[in-house]
Copies of this chain bind each other. A is one copy, B any other.
Amino acid sequence: MSQAYNVTQKLIKDHLLKGEMEPGKEIGIRIDQTLTQDATGTLVMLELEAMGLRRVKTEISVQYVDHNLLQTDFKNADDHLFLQSAAQKFGLWFSRPGNGVSHPVHMERFGKPGKTLVGSDSHTPASGSLGMLALGAGGLDVAFAMAGEPLYFKMPKVLGVKLSGKLPDWVSAKDVVLEMLRRYDVKGCRGMVIEYYGPGLDNLQAMDRHVIANMGTELGATTTVFPADEMIRKFLKAQGREEDFKEILPDESAEYDLHDEIVLDDLVPLIALPSSPGNVVPVSEVAGREVGQVVLGSSANPGLRDFWIVGAIMEGRTAHTDLSFDINPTSRQLIQNLAASGQFQNLIASGGRFHQSGCMGCIGMGQAPATSTISLRTMPRNFPGRSGTLDDQVYLCSPETLAAAALTGKITDPRDLEKELGIKYPKYQPVEQELINTQLLIAPPESGENIELVKGPNIKTLPQFEPLQQNYRVPVLLKMPDNVSTDEILRAGAVVLPYRSNIPAISKWAFAVIDESFHDRALEAREEFGGHIVIAGENYAQGSSREHAAIAPKFLGQVAVVAKSYARLGWQNLINFGVLPLEFVNPDDYERIEEGDVVKLKGLLESLNKEEPVVLINETKEENYEVSFSQLSERQKEIIRMGGIINYFKEKKVSTKGEVERPLR
């Protein structure tokens, strides 16, 4: 690597604890800040409790409540109180229900140029807009970062995207990232950090950059990075914390591993069709389709500008009577500033249905569209059924395109508002000083020693797991095909989500999508044999990073999965919770073993040490198969030996500097 660095390289170099900055090689970096939200955070807090952590070791950790806001019974409200007590106990800031969506609030109140951030939410990269290295990760990774451990990942390639020019009227930041999605689709940037640079940046405010960084996640990127330039100084000043600014620019002769360029002037209003964020076309191509709902808001268009522009377009006009005009404010602060700007009043007068601030419809927490109707949203994702309506038709677009549909009742190129309705494009002037109060943000107390965790009846301490045994004799409880996803292993949805802080309860849905009897059979097998194994094909546990897909089967006695191959995150989660991720040495053996067979695994501890294949003895069939541990690091072997990463942490806490510290309890 040359001595000239791009922003991404600077950020990594400044935080590098382990490994070399060569693309593809594993590195470990120091984490300055963490972000957790309620849907994943309750498990993280239970993990911190199980790890025996006394106090987070990061500079700043913040627990947000933005997902599970509807409170149709006591469970979500109880989770909020639990999270508040856990934040106090472990030393996190707590952002109360109603304070807003984690990503924009974090950017406004906590983000700092030059810092690293890891969050248990895939849109954490949004803070890359500030010149931070901001990464999404699984809950345990975030818990470990809070405990002062490095975050491990493969050194990404850096895709430099040069921006030049200026966005035309009726085109905004959302169209920039939709253009990226049009070019790269949803997997095109895997293993990359996208770094934007060039003169076009002078025309993109900090919150515009947030829009682009947020949806970098949809491109499959590790994260997105922007420089911290004068625009960021202005933003931090408007947020009342100019002192947090630090300039971080790419060195003049900085190089990128990959190259692309966007001329902002050439962009047109774009829209992602159902049901993938990568399914992007110009709005004009699908103009005229009838729209039943528009939803403004979410972390993908959270800024004052994004609401202001819609208010300004709607001023003195009314939304079409055949659609629901849903407004999903980002945060308490956004509402306050929107009201001060006068545009809140225009949105209400035009017929807007104004909801509480939070993620809401973006994660299917209300606002589900009616059957066979089109919903236009400024949100980041339109995966099938994510809205809450199974056969939904969700389109993703900019606030301008949303406003055009709100007025006409049809998908409409917003430029036609000017051409055909004579509406002039409103010019947004960024506010020099936003109204700020931190009423819903609670600082951590000096000490959490005497704080009791507030656990409602649905919040259960994590179960403890035993170390790996030498030998097992257990039944095969399930045989699954290729590509089984975490949604099949443990589904999400309004019924199951409220149990995410209750492992015994949520385990009732383990594999229920595949076989409703699984839970009961697993308990019987745990009673009779002390556990079970399952068989799977290729790419086991693909999909989301949810840890419940490992911990719930573990709770039910899962000793091992034997698969042809694994998805990376699912494999990692099995290890973290001490389930053996075994692979068939001869994939054809998959055909020979069946549900109901009783198998023996012998001499596991030695095999693990020696990295030797294990003989899986099929007692029922009177056959043997070779199965292997694949590519386990020494650390991962130890985690498995100890029965999971929480036991590992408790018994052998390794500090960020590599020395062994005394156990925390």
Contacts and interface: CB of A to CB of B under 8 A. Distances in A.
Given A335-B348, A351-B440, A356-B354, A324 B97 contact: yes
Contacts of A356: 353-356
Nearest to A328: B356
A106 to B, nearest CB: 19
A367 interface: yes
Interface in A51-97: 70-74, 76-78, 80-81, 96-97
Given A73-B368, A371-B457, A388-B72, A340 B345 contact: yes
A334 to B, nearest CB: 10
A437 interface: yes
A655 interface: no
Contacts of A388: 71-74
A371 B365 CA distance: 21
Interface string A437-454: 101101000000000000
A321 interface: yes
A189 B72 CA distance: 33
A370 interface: yes
A174 interface: no
Contact of A72 (B70, B74, B325, B372): B70
Contacts of A78: 370-371
A369 interface: yes
A70 B78 CA distance: 20
A62 to B, nearest CB: 16
A349 interface: yes
Contact of A354 (B77, B321, B354, B367): B354
Contacts of A332: 348, 351-352
A307 to B, nearest CB: 14
B355 A355 contact: yes
B335 A354 contact: yes
A251 B615 CA distance: 99
Contacts of A349: 336, 435, 437, 439
A379 B552 CA distance: 41
Contacts of A367: 71
A509 interface: no
A74 B368 contact: yes
Interface in A343-369: 344-345, 348-357, 364-369
Interface residues on A, range: 35 or more
A319 B353 CA distance: 25
Contact of A370 (B324, B355, B456, B494): B456
A339 interface: yes
Contacts of A368: 71-74, 76-77
A369 B77 contact: yes
A98 interface: yes
Contacts of A344: 339, 344
A369 B98 contact: no
A366 B440 contact: no
A318 interface: yes
A389 interface: yes
Contacts of A77: 293, 324, 368-371, 373, 389
Contacts of A76: 368
A73 B354 CA distance: 19
A336 B340 contact: no
A369 B389 CA distance: 27
Contact of A364 (B72, B371, B373, B390): B72
Interface in A106-162: none
B366 A72 contact: yes
A374 B648 CA distance: 41
B81 A370 contact: yes
B437 A318 contact: yes
B439 A80 contact: no
B324 A371 contact: no
A456 B335 contact: no
A384 to B, nearest CB: 13
Interface string A17-54: 00000000000000000000000000000000000000
Contact of A366 (B71, B354, B373): B71
Given A98-B351, A370-B80, A439 B319 contact: yes
Interface string A535-562: 0000000000000000000000000000
Given A344-B339, A348-B335, A366-B71, A98 B353 contact: yes
A347 to B, nearest CB: 10
A372 to B, nearest CB: 8
19 contacts: A71-B366, A71-B369, A72-B368, A73-B388, A73-B494, A76-B368, A77-B369, A77-B370, A80-B324, A81-B373, A96-B321, A318-B437, A332-B348, A336-B348, A339-B348, A349-B437, A351-B439, A353-B356, A353-B357
Given A71-B366, A96-B324, 8 more contacts: A72-B494, A74-B368, A74-B389, A81-B292, A98-B324, A339-B348, A350-B439, A351-B439
**CB-CB nearest 10 A-B residue pairs:** A98-B353, A77-B370, A351-B439, A74-B389, A371-B456, A71-B368, A318-B439, A74-B371, A70-B366, A355-B356
